[in-house]
Amino acid sequence: MFTGIITDVGRVKAAEMRGDTRFVIETSYDPDTIALGASIACSGCCLTVVEKGRDGARNWFAVDASAETLGCTTLGTWKPGTPVNLERALKAGDELGGHIVSGHVDGVGTIVDMRPEGDSVRFTFEAPEPLRKFIASKGSVTIDGTSLTVNEVEDVRVGANEKRARFGVNIIPHTQAVTTWGQAEVGNSVNLEIDMLARYVARLAEKD
């Protein structure tokens, strides 16, 4: 489990095609404090550490991503140099600064607009139709591993039969500085995880 509070911005050092894809990610985390088998959220996707080490002054860890993971997240577009939001797993007694995040990506969204609003940047995202009912004004959503609060949400029609959720969030200067959001651009794809509470409320509301 995670909280959506990013603690490091890593960078993809290598992407090795094997049976699965192995990503080597440079990080400021001390590899001596990372256990093999530990979970690290990488831009919102919970991945298992399978190797770790140092190359000179550079620390790194490696994770494997299956074809299913590559197809359901933005990881299929990662290449050397790609910046990655990182968060280590929540420990008992840690401060819960964001909201409960599982690290299981529910879908891929798109940045459709960015504009200054005070000192912040107002981002507008479009979420795929299956996630539309789970996104609510003033609710929580995890985007590329970052816990964010939805300002407003509206349904937009795509074609004759499909609707998508278009929603906005404000990202403050501090968050832009310590995450990948300072490098974001309109058109970028993002990993989305809906609020766990919203998931279960929707399930309970379903009719038999």
Instruction: Taking residues 17-22, report their average pLDDT.
Output: 91
pLDDT class of 22 with cuts at 50, 70, 90: very high
149 or 91, greater pLDDT: 149
What residue ranges define each of the domains in the chain, with the CATH number in brackets?
8-88 (2.40.30.20), 107-205 (2.40.30.20)
Q: According to the model, what pLDDT value does residue 208 have?
A: 57
Instruction: Please report, rounded to a whole number, the percentage of residues in the chain having pLDDT higher than 70.
Output: 99
What angle is formed at CA 14 by the lines to CA 44 and CA 71, rounded to 5 degrees? 45
Q: Mean pLDDT for the chain?
A: 93
Instruction: Taking residues 82-95, report their average pLDDT.
Output: 89
The 3-state DSSP class for residue 167 equals strand
Q: According to the model, what pLDDT value does residue 53 have?
A: 97
Rounded to an integer, what distance in angstroms lies between the CA atom of residue 164 and that of residue 134? 11
- Quick check: 32 pLDDT over 90? yes
Q: 91-135 pLDDT, tens per residue?
A: 877 777 778 899 999 999 999 999 999 999 999 999 999 998 899
Rounded to an integer, what distance in angstroms lies between the CA atom of residue 110 and that of residue 108? 7
203 or 196, greater pLDDT: 196
Rounded to an integer, what distance in angstroms lies between the CA atom of residue 179 and that of residue 19? 31
Instruction: Taking residues 172-191, report their average pLDDT.
Output: 97
In this structure, what are the phi and psi dihedrals at residue 188, rounded to the nearest 5 degrees? -65, 145
Q: According to the model, what pLDDT value does residue 93 have?
A: 73
The dihedral of CA 88, 193, 114, 151: what is its sign? negative
List Cβ neighbours of 121 (8 Å cut-off, separation of 6 or more): 114, 115, 170, 171, 176, 181
Are 197 and 105 spatial neighbours (Cβ–Cβ below 8 Å)? Answer: no
Rounded to two decimals, the pTM is 0.92
Residue type, 3: T
Q: According to the model, what pLDDT value does residue 157 have?
A: 83
The dihedral of CA 26, 31, 33, 37: what is its sign? positive
Q: According to the model, what pLDDT value does residue 146 have?
A: 97
34-46: burial string, b at 16+ Cβ within 10 Å, e else: beeeebbbbbbbb
The 3-state DSSP class for residue 101 equals strand
Rounded to an integer, what distance in angstroms lies between the CA atom of residue 187 and that of residue 184? 9
Q: According to the model, what pLDDT value does residue 104 have?
A: 94
